Amino acid sequence: MPSNTTTAPYDLVILGAGSGGYATALRAAQLGLRVAMVERDLVGGTCLHRGCIPTKAVLHAAEVADSAREGAQFGIHATVDRIDAAEIRSYAEKVVGRLHKGLTGLVDSRGIEVITGTGRLVVDADGPAVEVDGRLVRGEHVVLATGSYARTVPGVEIDGVRVITSDHALKLDTLPASAIVLGGGVIGVEFASAWRSLGVEVTVVEALDRLVPAEDPEISTALARAFRKRGISSALGSPVERVDSSDQGVTVQVDGKELTAEVLLVAVGRGPSTEGAGFAEAGIGLDRGFVPTDERLRTNLDRVYAVGDIVPGLQLAHRGFAHGLFVAEDIAHGRGLIDRAPTPVRDVEIPRVTYCEPEIASVGLSEAAARDLHGDAVETLTYDLGGNGKSQILRTQGFVKLVRQADGPVLGVHLVGARVGELIGEAQLITGWDAHPEDVAGLVHAHPTQNEALGEAHLALAGKPLHAHA
């Protein structure tokens, strides 16, 4: 056990400086708590450096390519002369760099100590602490925020050249001519969408029977149809049987058939980064590597919280932000620094967006989940974006699907179509505040906007459709 214990314990020591960790730190410092944050890499974590931000920058570059290529339908005649993967990477890295500089400045301005090194949770007679390179950093409370890593598949060896993860994909200076994407979830369909727009021939392999299996089945059907139109192939309900790689490319055996491409992108989701962090040794009860908590994000150890991707449930940066804010305020409330205890974060109220083309956005319950709770006392309505003026201007197809309890509130909102991620904020208010269709129908939505589609859908569900058939 290290003997170099800090002489002035912190109120809060955070292990990990990703979305959940730095959000905890910023809010705690704002509330007057003394905070230390331990991070072995860069402040900002996966989301800023290897996930949300760089991937969405690549997706925007892909959107620009599509706009140029398809401009003739709007009377703008242009050609795509060259797609330079190195320049796309440089653009993404500049975005990341600017955000990282701003974040580190914010952390510094709040008086948060950032300790660089690999930390391990330690619990002794004096309570919880984090050991970093022989130094014991002790806090009245410890928050575990170690984030996630790109999962792999047993028997599929990642070589970083022919068989890669999303981390490798973001570092490519040259795009492959063809790719197989293993995994039809969020990460897989986003890369498949971006690469196709950038000229790559793409096949998505998914062991389950539909793309984005965590979404409503109607969303999956719409995305599969859109991908076929874009020339993205799919092999669904097909677990991988074997992968062979060589200097020429990769061969993937699926359902007795062989698929070949220059690279295989393994995009089967993310796992919790808890191994080697001392959690089990300290007495944390792990579940498949995740850290179970109660609704207030407390672990089974006294004064030890967990936030973000290591907590079972949705793995989303904004969930990590919400967890961090909650924990900071919960600790501050316990110390009498704020009068009101924060409300626990509920996964069902967290919006979800997949940034492929077309975009997917959802919040609340799917139809199946609603029926599990309420049986036949569930109503649904689907409003086609074909009736929305702005969607016609954008030349996008898709729909808004509402799920409600019969004669009750809206339980879920599910959208597919270009830019629908921008609509999910209002959708979250609708489901989070238990609004009835009549409540939303009474609101005036600006014309012409895609936001009108939410208003139109609720008008129809309230029994008074305007630009939709009764």
Active site residues: 447
- CA 210, 212, 217, 221 torsion: positive or negative? negative
What is the C-alpha to C-alpha distance for residues 266 and 140, in angstroms, rounded to an integer?
A: 41
Residue 243, strand partner residues: 252
317 half-sphere exposure, CB direction, 13 A CA radius: 16
Q: Residue 389: which of 461, 451, 459 has the closest Cα?
A: 451
What is the C-alpha to C-alpha distance for residues 465 and 279, in angstroms, rounded to an integer?
A: 55
How many angstroms separate the Cα of 111 from the Cα of each of 138, 151, 409, 420?
17, 35, 45, 39
Structure tokens of 83?
């797609």
Cis peptide, bond prior to residue 448, ω within 30 of zero? yes
In angstroms, the first-to-last Cα distance of the chain is 72
What is the C-alpha to C-alpha distance for residues 200 and 179, in angstroms, rounded to an integer?
A: 7
Would you tell me the crossing angle of helices 451-461 and 424-432 to the nearest 10 degrees?
A: 40
